[in-house]
Amino acid sequence: MKEKITITTLRAKKERGEKIVTITCYDYPSARLLDEAGADIVFVGDSLGDNVLGYETTLPVTMDEMIHHAKAVRRGVSRALLLVDMPFLSYQVSPEEALRNAGRFMKEAGVEAVKVEGGEAAAAETVSRLVSAGVPVMGHLGLTPQSVHQLGGYRVQGRTAESAERMLSNAKALVDAGVFAIVLEMIPPSLAKQITEAVPVPTIGIGAGPHCDGQVQVFHDLFGFYPHRKFKHSRRYAEVGQTILDAAKKFVCEVRNDEFPGRD
């Protein structure tokens, strides 16, 4: 087996200028494939909601749903770092409740790190509490999907000088609180570059340009499970959705035409 990826590995990659690859995952067979492919971080995102469970947003996803899927992914991952999203209202109420829920992820699902959104004082306090208890934490700035209604939709953040300065300040506050990495989502590439150069921890971009220390993409976007869904910040590497549809149609047709399972 190749070297196990840890948070120390990721910091070393940033120092060497090696890009970090993160892909979301929600089940055992996909986890096995991504781990074998060489992903550095296999990430059970709360994007589970709109990609697997059929919710319109990530907000309805529960702790129990996240743990259920994280346990499945855990069984398929041996080399990559296993990261999980703290779902909406699992960490915002208080640092103590955040610690209890992060503890559930580590004890019940065997995850190795958690991700929380936001960079304000409350978020930094929560990060500090988790890290002090031994929970590795990744931060998340820019477009934070759990705050989509507050942000007024899915739009680029940090466009103004004031908001860009605030985001840079929040990134430094998260580092001071102890995060091992920060996701930068849908912010101008110039701002992502500035933050990446200003902090000692890896930055993982999604819709934030080429200057981050790594990139994260959603499994179903990479492989074309939803042909109608297209994002400027993603690229399809396969059309699995269409392949499955064509194969299913062929099976349906063969059964109805009495061609499957065939005659002796």
Give the number of other Cβ atoms within 10 Å of residue 220's Cβ: 20
Catalytic residue among 18, 185, 254, 259: 185
The answer to whether 185 is a known catalytic residue is yes
- Amino acid symbol at 218: V
Strands 41-44 and 81-85 turn out to be parallel
**What is the DSSP secondary-structure string of the chain?**
-PPPP-HHHHHHHHHHT--EEEEE--SHHHHHHHHHHT-SEEEE-TTHHHHTS--SSSTT--HHHHHHHHHHHHHH-SSSEEEEEPPTTSSSS-HHHHHHHHHHIIIII--SEEE----SHHHHHHHHHHHHTT--EEEEEES-GGGHHHHTSS-----SHHHHHHHHHHHHHHHHHT-SEEEEES--HHHHHHHHHH-SS-EEEESS-TTSSEEEE-HHHHTTSSTT---TT---S--HHHHHHHHHHHHHHHHHTT-SS---
* Distance (Å, whole) CA 186 – CA 193: 13
Give catalytic residues, as residue numbers.
185
